[in-house]
Structure 1
C-alpha cells in the first residue's frame, strides 16, 4: 500500500488513528499496530506476507538463541550468527537472482510492478543488524511483541529508515504508546504533509520531464541541454522522492508516539564523496559502516582502501544485480578511494572560505549527478548513449518547456535553501541520529531561518498543503526505492 494511495490516506490511516486513540492501554495499542502493519504489508500480496512472517519467526529464534547462549560458548554463538546472516542474505539474493533471470530485473525501473517481495532489502538489513546486536550482547533479552513491532511497524517497514531494535524497545519501555497525544497528531501530520508535498508537488512533477528525456535518449538523440537538464533534474528527483518517504515515515510514526531516526542531512550540500555518504540515507550508511567496513578493518585486518572498495561494491549490489548497479557501485568505490588518498597525501580538509565551499559543493553535486545518470539508466548501452550525448554538443530542438525549468528551480530551492525536516521541526521532533558524533557534518543542529510552530498560521499552511496534495494524488506514482 502506497502512502500516496487513496486507500491509505482516506481509509487505513484515519481508521488506524481512531482505533489507536480509542484503545486504553499500551499492550492493546501495540497489538493493534502490529496487526494493522501486517495488513498494510499483506495488501501488496499474500505471498509477500508469508515471506515477511517467516523471516520474522526465523530471525526472532536466531536472536533469542544468541541471547540465551553463554559468552564462553563462543564457537556456537559465532556459528549461530553466521547461520542467521547467511540465511538472510541467501533469501534476499535468491529473489534478486529470480528477478534478474526473469529478464526484467536488470536495472532501474519506472514501472509500478515490484520484482522481489516488497521491502525485502530493508527488512533483511534490519534483521541482520538485530542478530548481530544479539551476538555482541547489545541486546540481552528479546521481547516477542517488541520484536514484532520493531520489524512490522508500517511507517518504516517498506523503505526505512533502518532502525535498531534497542531504540524501538527503549521507546516502548518508556511508554511512548501509553497515551494518544493531540500534539503528536498535529506534529506528525505536519511532518507527513511536508513529505507528501515533496513527493506529489515536486518529485512526481519533475519526473515527467526526466522520464521524457531519458526514455528518448536511450534510443535516439536529444539536445545536449535537454540531456544535462535530465541528469541534474533526476538527482533532485531522487533526493526529493526518497527524503519525502523518510519524512512521511517519521511523521506517521510520530502520530503514534514513536520517534524514527533522521535519514537525510542536507545531502546536496556535501563537499566531497564521503560527505555525501554522511548525509544521504544515513541509516543505510551507518549499517554498512558498522557491519561491513569496520569489521573488514578490525576483524579481517584489511587495508582501509580494500575495505572501502568492498563496501562500495556491496552498496551497488544491494540496489540490484544488474550491470548498471554494479558499475554505479564500482564508480562510487573509485571516487571514495580517490577522496581518501587525496586527503591522506595532501593532508587536505574541508576548511576554507566561502568560495572554496561553493566550489566544493558545486563540484560534488555535478559528480553526483553524473553518477545518478548511471543509476537511472537501465542498461550499459543506455549509459554509453547518455554519456555520449552529455559530452558532445548537439543543438537539436528542445523537447522541454519553460515550465520544466520553473519546476527545476523550485526543486533546487527546496533541496538547497528550504530547511530539512530535523531543522524545520526541531522544536517538537526529538530525532535520533545514528551517526557517531565525530562523523556528523558541521551545522547539523544549527537553527533554521524558518521553524515550524504549533500555531494557527502553521495549522492553516499544513492543512492547505494536505488539501492541495490530495487533489493531485491521481498523478502520483510509486516511490523510486520501493523497487529495491
Structure 2
C-alpha cells in the first residue's frame, strides 16, 4: 500500500484515525501496531513474517545487552552477534543474487540461485533495529521490555517502507507518552497534503519524462534529450522522496509523534558536503554516528580520514542497491567529498554564486548512476550529456518533451527553493492574517482536489525509494 493510493486516502487512513481517537491511550499503540502490520502485509503478505521474526530477535538482543551491563566484553560480543544477524538477513534478501553473479563472472563458475524477491522496506527497518540495539549498547536508552512498543517503533507505518530513519532514542518517550492537540493535527494534515502534492503533481509527471529518456538507447540519445531527462530525474527523485518524508512527518503528527526533518532544500547547497547535510538527513546522520565516527571520523591521521570516507560512501551506495551502478555512485561521492576535504570546498566558496551551478552539475552526474539500469548505460548516458551523437543538439524528442512539460519544470524549480517557507514567515496585520488563513485553507483544498483528479485519471504512480 502506498500513501498516494485511493485506498489509503479514503479507507485505510480514515479507519485508523477513527479507531485511534476512539480508544483510551493505553490501547492507541495496539491500534497503530495492528494497522501498521496490515499496511505492510497489504503489499508483502509473505514477508510480514520475516519482519516479525526480526522484531522478536532484536527484542531479545536488546534485553540481553541490557542484562550484561557490567560485562563489557560480553556486551561487545552480543552486539556484534546482533549486527551479524541483522546484516545477514538484509544481505541474503538484498545482495545474494548480486554476490552469486560476481562469483560466477570472476571464477567462471555456474552457481545457480533462484531469484530472491526484495522485501519492501527491509533496508529501513533493519537500520531502525540496529539503531535501537546500538543505543541500548551505548546506554543512551534502556532496553524496551514492552514488546508491543518496540514492535511499533520498528513497524510504525508512516516510516516503515521508505523512512525517514527514526532513531529509537528520538521516539522512546513518545511511545509511552504523547500530547495531542488540534493544532498539531492540523499541521499534520497540511504537511501530508504538501508531501502528497509534491509526489503526485510534480514527481510523477517529471518521472514520466525521465522514464521516456532513460528508456532511449544511448546511440539514439541527443545531448538535449539527455539533459532534459536527467533534469527531470533530478527533480523527480527530490519531490518523490522529500514528498514521502513530508507525508510521513505529517502522518506522525496526526498520531501525536514528532519526527525530525529529512530534507532541507538540498539543491541550494554550495558544496557537495552541504548537499549531503541537506539530503536524506536521517540516512546521512545514521552513517555518520554509527559508522564514520566509530571508525575515527576526521579526528585521525589524514589518510585514515579518507579511508573512513570511502568506507562510508561505498556502504551508502551498496545500501541503496545491489549493482555496480550504485557502488559507483557511492564511490563517486566519496571521491568528491574527499576532494572537498583536501581543499575543493574552499575553492568552490570562492566561485560564489557559480558554486551552486557546479554543485548541481556534479549532483546530476551522480544521479545518472543512480537512475541507470547498469554501469555501462550510465557511462554512455553521461557521454551523451556532453557529446551529441547526432547532427542536432536538440532533436525532435527533446523539443517535444520540453514543450509538453516546461510548466512542470518551472514549478518544480521554484518549489525546490525555500520560497514557500519565506512566504509563511511574512508578518501581516490581524485583518490580513485572517484573509491569509482563508487563502491557505483554500490552497490546501485545491491541492488535494488536484491530487485526487490526477489519481483518478492516471495509472502512473511509482515510489522510487520502495526499491531500497
1:405 CA drift (Å): 2.2
Q: What do residues 428-460 of structure 1 show as CA deviations (whole Å, max 9, x unaligned)?
A: xxxxxxxxxxxxxxxxxxx5799x999332222
- For 1:247-326, what aligned pairs fall within 5 Å after superposition? 247-297=246-296, 303-326=304-327
Q: What do residues 207-255 of structure 1 show as CA deviations (whole Å, max 9, x unaligned)?
A: 111111111134x312211111111221111111100000000111111
1:327 CA drift (Å): 1.0
1:157 aligns with 2:160: yes
Gaps of 5+ in 1: 104-113, 426-446
- For 1:167-246, what aligned pairs fall within 5 Å after superposition? 167-176=170-179, 179=180, 181-218=181-218, 220-246=219-245
1:120 CA drift (Å): 0.2
C-alpha distance in 2 between matches for 1:57 and 1:424: 47
Shift of the 172–96 alpha-carbon distance from structure 1 to 2, 3 Å rule, reads closer
Of structures 1 and 2, the one with the larger relative CO (CA 8 A, separation 6+) is 1
SS at match of 2:85: helix
C-alpha distance in 1 between matches for 2:177 and 2:404: 50
Aligned residue number for residue 73 of structure 2: 75
C-alpha distance in 1 between matches for 2:269 and 2:280: 13
Aligned residue number for residue 360 of structure 1: 355
Aligned residue number for residue 126 of structure 1: 128
C-alpha distance in 1 between matches for 2:100 and 2:346: 48
Aligned residue among 377, 380, 399 for 1:382: 377
Aligned residue number for residue 397 of structure 1: 395
C-alpha distance in 2 between matches for 1:377 and 1:18: 43
Of Structure 1 and Structure 2, which has the larger fraction of its residues in helix?
2
C-alpha distance in 2 between matches for 1:462 and 1:232: 27
- For 1:25-44, what aligned pairs fall within 5 Å after superposition? 25-44=24-43
**Residues 221 and 389, structure 1, Cα contact 8 Å, conserved in 2:** no
1:308 CA drift (Å): 0.4
**Residues 320 and 326, structure 2, Cα contact 8 Å, conserved in 1:** yes
SS at match of 1:46: coil
Gaps of 5+ in 2: 102-115
Shift of the 371–125 alpha-carbon distance from structure 1 to 2, 3 Å rule, reads same
What TM-score do the two structures reach when normalised by structure 2?
Answer: 0.88
Q: What do residues 288-323 of structure 1 show as CA deviations (whole Å, max 9, x unaligned)?
A: 000111111169967111100111111011011211
Shift of the 464–154 alpha-carbon distance from structure 1 to 2, 3 Å rule, reads same
**Residues 178 and 257, structure 2, Cα contact 8 Å, conserved in 1:** no
C-alpha distance in 2 between matches for 1:2 and 1:247: 14
Q: What do residues 260-291 of structure 1 show as CA deviations (whole Å, max 9, x unaligned)?
A: 11000110011111111111000000000001
Q: What is the number of residues matched between the two proteins?
A: 439
**Residues 226 and 398, structure 1, Cα contact 8 Å, conserved in 2:** no
Q: What do residues 65-118 of structure 1 show as CA deviations (whole Å, max 9, x unaligned)?
A: 1112123x1111000000011111111110112454798xxxxxxxxxx94111
Aligned-CA RMSD value: 2.5
Aligned residue number for residue 7 of structure 1: 7
Aligned residue number for residue 453 of structure 2: 471
C-alpha distance in 2 between matches for 1:99 and 1:28: 42
Query: In terms of mean alpha carbon deviation, does 144-153 or 333-342 score higher?
Result: 144-153
1:483 aligns with 2:452: no
**Residues 271 and 359, structure 2, Cα contact 8 Å, conserved in 1:** yes
